[in-house]
Structure 1
Amino acid sequence: MRNERRPAMRTLFRQDPRTILLILGSTLLIPIAVLAAVACTEESGPAAEGTVTIAVGEVPPLIQEPRRDIRATGGIGKDLSIYETIVRAPHVAPPTPPPQDHTAYSPDDLGLAESWEVASDFNSITFTIREDVAWHNNGGDWGDLTTEDVAFSFNSAFAADSVNNGAEEIGPEMKVGFDVIDDRTVRQNIEPGGFDPTWAGLQGNAGINGIDCVSKKAFDELGV
C-alpha cells in the first residue's frame, strides 16, 4: 500500500501544485484553531495585547471627498468599520420597503441618526444626529460628528459630477440636497413627487455602496 500511494501523491502534486498549499494551510490552521479555542477559556488568563494588522489588496485614500469616492470609504472604510452610514435599514422581503418610522428600528440599526421624520408631504426627511459620536483620531483630533459633516458628505456624493457608487443608485429626485438646521438636525430635501420609500436601504446599507459620512474637517486638512 505504501509503494502504491507514493506515485499517486507525486502525480497529484505534479498536476496541481496548489494542493500542497491547501494541505499546508489546513495543517497550519489546526493548531491555530486550537490555540484560539484555548485563548477563549476562562483559565487562559488576561487577553493578549498588541496591534492586529489586516492584509488587504489595496487601501485607497480613506479621507476622500465623497463625490470622488468610488469605493474607498464605501468599501474598505465601511467593511473595516472606519465609517458609518446614517441608518442601517433592517432586511425586509421585497417588494416591501424598509420601515419609514425610526421607532420600527432596533438600536443597532439606527446608525448615525438616532431618529428621523418624513414630512407629511414627502418632500423632506429631517434627521436628528446622535451626540458624542467621535471620529477616529488618525492624523489629528477631528472631534465629534457634526451635522455639517453629514450635509457635506451627502451633498458631495449627490453632486452632478459625483462618481460615488452609492449615490448612483439613488434617483435624482432624492438628491436635491441636505441642509443643516442646527447642531443636531439636518434635513434632506426631496423633489415633489419624487420620494423613494426604499431610501433607508439605498442611503444606508446597500451592500458596500451605502453613503458613508466623513469628517469635513479631516477632509479639508488631509483629504484628496
Structure 2
Amino acid sequence: MLSMQRNDPRQYDDLAGEWWRPGGPFELLHWLAEARAALIPPAGAPGRILVDAGCGGGLLAPHVRGKGYRHIGVDLRRTGLERAVPRGMTAVNGDVTALPLADRSADVVVAGEILEHVTDLSGTVAELCRVLRPGGLVVLDTVNDTRLSRFITVTLGERLGIAPVGLHDPALFVPPRRLVTEFTRHGVELEIRGVRPSLPGLFRWLVLGRAAGGRIVPSISAAILYQGIGRRHAG
C-alpha cells in the first residue's frame, strides 16, 4: 500500500540518499544520464549555458563536466539539489512548468526522465523552449504511453526493483507523437529514437545485486523508452 499518491514529488525526499548509491534504485537513471550526455556536443565557446530541467541529484554532471558549459540544474526538491551541488552544478530551486530563468538564456536544454512526471506537458514544453536560444539544442528522454511501457515500468518494474514503488503515474506517460507536436509549436523539430538498457547490465544489477556499469543502447522500438533531440529554429 502506498503512503503517498503516485508521482508525489515528496517521494524524492525520502529517496534522497539513493541518488549516488551504486546499485541502488536510481541505477538505471545513471545509465540514462550517460546516454543523454552523449547527445550533447562540446560547448565550443566560453560562457555557453546548459540547463538541466528536473536535474534531481545531478546525475548528468559527471558526463558533461568536460564539455565546457555552465551547468545549471533546476529541480523542485531541495534534497536532490543538495546532492547535485557537490557535482559541480549551479543549483536553482524551481518548477519545470515555470523555470526561473530568462528567455533565450540557454544554449542546451536537457529534460531527462522528467516529462513522464509533469501534469502539464504543454506548459512544460513551452517553458523548455522559452529558455532555449534560437539555434539551441534540446535533449530529452522519457517513457512512452503504451501498454508495454506501463507493464514494464510499473507492474513488473516495481516488483523487480527497476523503479521505486509509486514513483510513476502511468497516466502521465508521453506518446512520442504528442511530444513532437508540442515541440513543433515552439519551433523545435524533434527527432525520436527508441532506447533500452543493455541486458548484461540489467542482469548484473537486478539478479546479482551489483553496481552494474550498464548502459543504454539503441532499440528498434520506442514502445518503452525513447530519446529526443532537436534544435530551435534560428531567428
More strand by share: 2
Structure with greater Cα Rg: 1
Query: Do they fold alike, i.e. is TM over 0.5?
Result: no
- Normalising to structure 2: TM-score of the pair? 0.28
More helix by share: 1
- Normalising to structure 1: TM-score of the pair? 0.29
